[in-house]
Chain A
Amino acid sequence: MMSQLRTESFPKGTLIFKEGDTPQVPCMYDVLIGRVGIYLNYGTPKQKLLTTIEMDSYFGEMSLLEGAPRSATAVALEKCILHVITEKELLQYFQARPSVVRQMMQQMSSRLRALTDDYMAICRTIAEREDCGAEQPKDDGLNQEIERYAKLWNACSAETDETSLYAQQYGWDNTWNQLLH
């Protein structure tokens, strides 16, 4: 079953895909052997390592699901052998590695829940600010929250081209959390 899935090998240092690329056939990768680094602004002074993907984990799933441009650059940190999974192969992959697909769905689901909580929190801050009317809120905590959200937006829009904004959305756990918490 496993052998029917396509594998590709990448020497150390190879770019697996680049931020902003739109793959002709959207795919994700499952790491069989090796380690992959996920970077923003790779090869520029603003380069930032978001995360590393170890064996038995996967990356690039957002592009697979949405056909959207890659939100970050993936680099083989050592010699890697990867499964390449396109939409067509997803079911086969699910049959071969049900736990990985389940884990993928769980990750998406928990990201959505965390995002829902964050969204509720920002709406709450806005509601509390609205209750104060034109006056400056007396609650320092509330003032700090407002300041933090304004800063978050300014930080995001300072880097705006669409791609990096998109990257920040999906680098949620890594990039945004530093600003948020």
Chain B
Amino acid sequence: MKKELVPAGTVIFKKGDIERCMYDLVQGSVAIYADYGLPTERKLTTLSAEKNRFLGEMGLIDAAPRSATAVAETDCRMLVIDASNAKLYFENSPETLLAVMHQLSDRTRALTNDYLEAAKTIAESEDYRKKGQSIPKRLLEKLHGFAETWRALSTKN
């Protein structure tokens, strides 16, 4: 399977793109952006070959539009896995099948915890409000963090 060389600065995929493939990041790092190229551009996260390995794995699975834009932050080497070579790829390196599933389940677990934490923060704040007390700064800061997540990701591009 061919390893593609992707120079730093290359847009790997754009938000809204529909491409039935995922990337196995062999070397380098990739930044994920909301509003890429706009004045409101924000970097959401950085993925690295050591830590994350797979990029866009949900695209391979269900071909839904990309939810953000991915840009090579350094020169990268990556494998492109699509429907035509997925079987071969998983058979050649069996551990990848499990690794993709692990990545999905790790994200599900992390997001579930975030969701629970948000619900908990709301419940605690409402308790203070109902008692006519002011909400402690610690809770207000947490609420603000969740609010900012929405503001960052609800953008149009």
Contact = CB atoms under 8 A, between A and B. Distances in A.
A178 to B, nearest CB: 15
A169 interface: yes
B150 A105 contact: no
B12 interface: no
Contacts of A150: 119, 122-123, 126
B91 A149 contact: no
Given A120-B150, A127-B147, A152 B119 contact: yes
Nearest to B153: A120
B150 A109 contact: no
A14 B118 CA distance: 39
B43 interface: no
B111 A146 contact: no
Interface stretch (A36-44, A46-54, A72-80, A90-98): A90-98
Interface in B135-157: 143-144, 146-151, 153-154
B119 A149 contact: yes
Contacts of A165: 116
B42 interface: no
Interface string A104-133: 111011111101101110111111011000
A113 B66 CA distance: 12
B90 A91 contact: yes
B119 to A, nearest CB: 4
Given A112-B58, A119-B118, A126-B143, A149 B107 contact: no
Given A65-B105, A119-B111, A91 B62 contact: no
B85 interface: no
Given A91-B94, A112-B108, A113-B64, A149 B122 contact: yes
A136 B99 CA distance: 47
A147 B129 CA distance: 12
| Size bracket of the A interface | 35 or more
A153 B122 contact: yes
Given A127-B150, A152-B119, A87 B62 contact: no
Given A108-B104, A112-B111, A156-B119, A94 B146 contact: no
Contacts of B98: 65, 87, 90
Nearest to B142: A126
Given A90-B98, A130-B143, A149 B123 contact: yes
B18 interface: no
B108 A91 contact: no
Interface of A: 62, 65-66, 87, 90-91, 94-95, 98, 101-102, 104-106, 108-113, 115-116, 118-120, 122-127, 129-130, 146-147, 149-150, 152-154, 156-157, 165, 169, 172
6 nearest interchain CB pairs? A123-B150, A127-B147, A91-B94, A153-B123, A153-B119, A150-B123
Interface of B: 58, 61-62, 64, 67, 87, 90-91, 94, 97-98, 100-102, 104-105, 107-109, 111-112, 114-116, 118-123, 126, 143-144, 146-151, 153-154
12 contacts: A65-B102, A87-B98, A94-B97, A112-B107, A112-B111, A119-B111, A119-B115, A122-B119, A126-B118, A127-B146, A152-B119, A157-B120
